[in-house]
């Protein structure tokens, strides 16, 4: 297994493909990984900034080829774990459900609301492995705090806390749906962080997300063209590079212990499992 090649305390980043253009990043190797759950979105990139080695995966594949429901979330998270990733930072675009979170705000949520339609494979378990892992606290506050410190250092307008409601997509919300999400008390809306965040918990990872607001969801009576959204996305991506460069360096000198909760959730006697199933648990519970 590829996991044997790496330390088990690595940093992983899942997001857009723009990281390849980040100043100071050295690409070490591309890992084409096969997992028991299929292929991830793209090659996992082993990279280096200063002395810190980290791993990166383009969630939608290079060239942005995958719709949110087409992403193999299980393969993505599992491939990262195979590379020894213990700390997983997500970067994604979202819409705002609150007036006080305007476009170009970076939101660091602490909760998720799953409003997808059941098309996504959302657990590593089943097929003989019975496990129930808590997702009560899907965000690791220590990793979130490091991300917040980097946002502050980069001069980004950011907000810590709030709920991210994840919809199926690829269509955006109707006004009626947007009004419902606002009644939930959700802060932002996106299409990619579920089941990604839940799978990270099942894999025993520390997980946090930087959600970059591109627009107000359709609840707000405000005209917004695609060109305007793309302009905001360009600004967000530029600021995200600054945040990530700072974050990687901060992480290097501020690593912390992670107590995986997933080991407590496995109920099946491992002696009754096939070799393939035992190998899956070996990776997830590492």
pLDDT at residue 102 greater than cutoff 80 = yes
* Among 219, 163, 222, residue whose Cα is nearest residue 193: 163
Which residues face 211 on adjacent strands? 92, 107
Give dist(CA 265, CA 193) in Å, integer. Answer: 22
Pairing of strands 26-31, 44-49: antiparallel
Give dist(CA 61, CA 122) in Å, integer. Answer: 19
Torsional sign, CA 190, 192, 195, 201: negative
Question: Known catalytic residue: 215?
Answer: yes
Q: What's the mean pLDDT in 1-20? A: 75
Q: Which pLDDT score is estimated for 18?
A: 66
For the chain, domains (ranges, CATH) are 2-284 (3.40.50.1580)
pLDDT band at 21 (very low <50, low <70, confident <90, very high): confident
Catalytic residue among 110, 215, 276, 282: 215
pLDDT at residue 8 greater than cutoff 90 = no
Alpha helices in the chain (DSSP H): 73-82, 141-154, 175-184, 193-202, 226-253, 275-284
Element holding 209 (H helix, E strand)? strand 206-216
Give dist(CA 189, CA 220) in Å, integer. Answer: 13
221 burial type by CB count under 10 A (0-12 exposed, 13-18 middle, 19+ buried): exposed
Give dist(CA 174, CA 137) in Å, integer. Answer: 29
Give dist(CA 142, CA 149) in Å, integer. Answer: 11
Q: Which two tokens stand for residue 119?
A: 């098309």
Q: What's the mean pLDDT in 194-219? A: 97
Count helices and strands in the chain by DSSP H and E runs:
6, 11
Question: Known catalytic residue: 140?
Answer: no
Provide the angle, in degrees to the nearest 10, between the axes of the packed helices 141-154 and 226-253.
110
Element holding 111 (H helix, E strand)? strand 111-115
Q: CB 245: neighbour CB atoms within 10 A?
A: 20
Catalytic residue among 51, 217, 246, 271: 217
* Interval 208-228: pLDDT, tens: 999 999 999 999 877 667 777
pLDDT at residue 37 greater than cutoff 70 = yes
Distances (CA, A) of 195 to 86, 155, 168, 207: 17, 30, 11, 12
* Interval 134-192: pLDDT, tens: 999 999 999 999 999 999 999 999 999 999 999 999 999 999 999 999 999 999 999 99
- Higher pLDDT, residue 129 or 232: 129
Tokens 């390849």, residue?
A: 20
3-class DSSP state of 47: strand
Mean pLDDT taken over the chain: 93
């Amino acid at each position: 297994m590829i996991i044997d090649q790496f330390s088990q305390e690595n940093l992983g980043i899942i997001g857009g493909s723009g990281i390849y253009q980040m100043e100071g990043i050295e690409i070490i190797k591309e890992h084409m990984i096969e997992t028991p759950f299929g292929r991830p979105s793209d090659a996992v990139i082993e990279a280096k900034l200063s002395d810190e080695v980290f791993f990166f995966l383009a969630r939608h594949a290079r060239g942005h080829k995958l719709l949110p429901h087409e992403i193999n979330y299980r393969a993505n998270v599992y491939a990262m774990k195979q590379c020894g990733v213990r700390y997983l930072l997500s970067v994604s675009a979202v819409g705002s459900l609150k007036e006080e979170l305007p476009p170009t705000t970076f939101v660091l949520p602490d909760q998720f609301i799953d409003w997808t339609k059941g098309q996504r494979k959302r657990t590593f378990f089943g097929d003989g492995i019975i496990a129930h892992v808590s997702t009560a606290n899907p965000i690791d506050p220590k990793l979130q705090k490091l991300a917040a410190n980097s946002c502050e250092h980069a001069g980004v307008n950011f907000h810590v806390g709030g709920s991210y409601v994840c919809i199926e997509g690829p269509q955006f919300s109707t006004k009626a749906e947007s009004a419902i999400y606002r009644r939930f008390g959700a802060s932002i809306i996106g299409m990619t962080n579920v089941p990604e965040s839940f799978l990270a918990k099942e894999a025993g990872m520390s997980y946090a997300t930087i959600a970059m607001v591109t627009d107000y969801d359709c609840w707000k009576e405000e005209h917004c063209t695609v060109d305007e959204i793309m302009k905001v996305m360009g600004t967000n991506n530029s600021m995200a590079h600054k945040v990530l460069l700072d974050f990687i360096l901060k992480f290097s000198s501020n690593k912390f212990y992670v107590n995986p909760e997933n080991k407590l959730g496995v109920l099946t006697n491992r002696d009754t499992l096939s070799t393939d199933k035992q190998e899956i648990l070996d990776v997830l519970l590492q």
